[in-house]
Structure 1
Amino acid sequence: MSESAGRPSDPRADDSHSHGIGCAEVIAEVWTLLDGECTPEAKERLRQHLEACPGCFQHYGIEERLKALIATKCTGEKAPEGLKERLRLEIRRTTIIRGGE
């Protein structure tokens, strides 16, 4: 991760890292790594990049903490029926709007 004026640059904009994988790809694959859904080869490439790139490593850490927080706060709870219905309605409305564009 390059630094400019003391600030880390956006990891999604920097694809110049070695290890055969760029920052944009790492950011896109973070959840497959966290969920254990990537191949051993992909896991190793991601791990190597994360070790070499502080910005991507920081992003990975944030996503890891978010996943842990969701797991802690949402275990066993079910959404109220009214909320589910509002979400279904909003999804249908969004799908209709996008389909009509």
Structure 2
Amino acid sequence: MSEFSRSSGPCGGGGDSHDPAGCAEVIAEVWTLLDGECTPETRRKLRQHLEACPECLRHYGLEERIKALIATKCKGEKAPEGLRERLRLEIRRTTIIRGGF
């Protein structure tokens, strides 16, 4: 993962300029933060960016609500084995495609 912020801070730092590339990287990592799967250093950088970037913070809040809704609606339920296997295959496929760049 590359840096999320420049020396002047996320999104250009001054509020006038917006760094879409940095925001795209943060958005791509939002679920690792929500799931507690990122390193402490990455967590710090993501939180720092979210504090300085209202657009990314809104996106993070939306994803957080979606995760909570899924947890509420799917509490205690297990997906059918066929669905689970299809999801595993799709995750492997996505990982391979993403890793190829």
- Cα 1:45–1:77 change in 2 (3 A) is same
Mapped pair 1:14 → 2:20: yes
Extract unaligned runs of 5+ from structure 2: 1-10, 13-17, 94-101
Once the two structures are superposed, the pairs formed by residues 23-34 of structure 1 within 5 Å of their partners are 23-34=23-34
Q: CA offset at residue 43 of structure 1?
A: 0.3
Q: Which amino acid aligns with 1:72?
A: T
Is the radius of gyration larger for structure 1 or structure 2?
Answer: 1
Per-residue deviation, residues 42-90 of structure 1 (Å, max 9, x unmatched): 0000000000000000000000000000000001123468xx47x95xx
* Runs of 5+ unmatched residues, structure 1: 3-10, 16-21, 96-101
Amino acid at match of 1:34: L
Number of equivalenced pairs? 73
* Consecutive aligned runs of 4 or more in structure 1 exceeding 4 Å deviation: none
**Structure 1: distance between partners of 2:49 and 2:39:** 15
> TM-score normalized by structure 1?
0.60
Is 1:43 equivalent to 2:49 in the alignment? Answer: no
Counterparts of 2:74 and 2:37 in 1: how far apart (Å)?
A: 21
